Amino acid sequence: MTQSTDSNAPQKTAIAPVILLHPDDNILVCVKQFHPGDEITIDGETLLSDIDIAVGHKIARINLRPGDKVYRYGAPIGSMTQAVAKGEHVHMHNMKSDYIPSHTRSRQHKDRSDA
């Protein structure tokens, strides 16, 4: 893991890799691909990422528990199914719709073979 004091470290981009869309949100949206070892700053606290996150994906702004509503644009976009810690990836493995289940290529395939 690169020390943040290392003078040979690549220049940090001027753009924050994550953005907060609404003050009430409990997730942040990644606007730049980041990798394990990259730093993310959340509400003034700097964390080290241990995962790959692609542009457009979400990370937890605070620790979240199962059943917690997830807020984006200040509006509820679903509920947590698993606990996640601040800075972790929030996606289909730990969150679900409060309306209609989402499908993926693999889930669709699994449904067919289950049938």
Partner 1 sequence: MSQAVSFSGWQRADGRKGIRNVIVVAYLVECAHHVTRKIVNHVNDMDVHLIGFPGCYPNQYAYDMMRAVCTHPNVGGALLVSLGCESMNREKLLSDILASGRPAELLVIQEEGGTKSTIELGIAAVKRLQSEAAAVARVPMQLNELIVGTICGGSDGTSGISANPAVGRCFDALVAADAICIFEETGELIGCETIMADRAVTPELGAEIEACVAKAEHYYRVMGFGSFAPGNADGGLTTLEEKSMGAYSKSGSSPISGLIKPGDIPPAGGLYLLDVVPDGEPRFGFPNISDNAEIIELIACGSHVILFTTGRGSVVGSAISPVIKICANPETYRRLAGDMDVNAGRILEGEATLDQVGEEILQNVIAVAAGKRSVSEELGHQEFILTYKAFEPIGPSCLPVRQIQ
Give the interface with partner 1 as residue ranges (CB under 8 A). Answer: 14-15, 19, 21, 29-33, 54-58, 70, 72-73, 75-78, 90-92, 95-105, 108
Name the residue nearer to partner 1 (CB basis): 12 or 91.
Answer: 91
Q: Are 112 and 95 in contact (CB under 8 A)?
A: no
Q: Are 43 and 35 in contact (CB under 8 A)?
A: no
Alpha-carbon radius of gyration of the chain: 16
What minimum distance in Å lies between the beta carbon of 15 and partner 1?
5
Name the residue nearer to partner 1 (CB basis): 21 or 62.
Answer: 21
What minimum distance in Å lies between the beta carbon of 53 and partner 1?
9
Name the residue nearer to partner 1 (CB basis): 5 or 13.
Answer: 13
| SS3 label, residue 109 | helix
Structure letter (DSSP) for residue 107: H
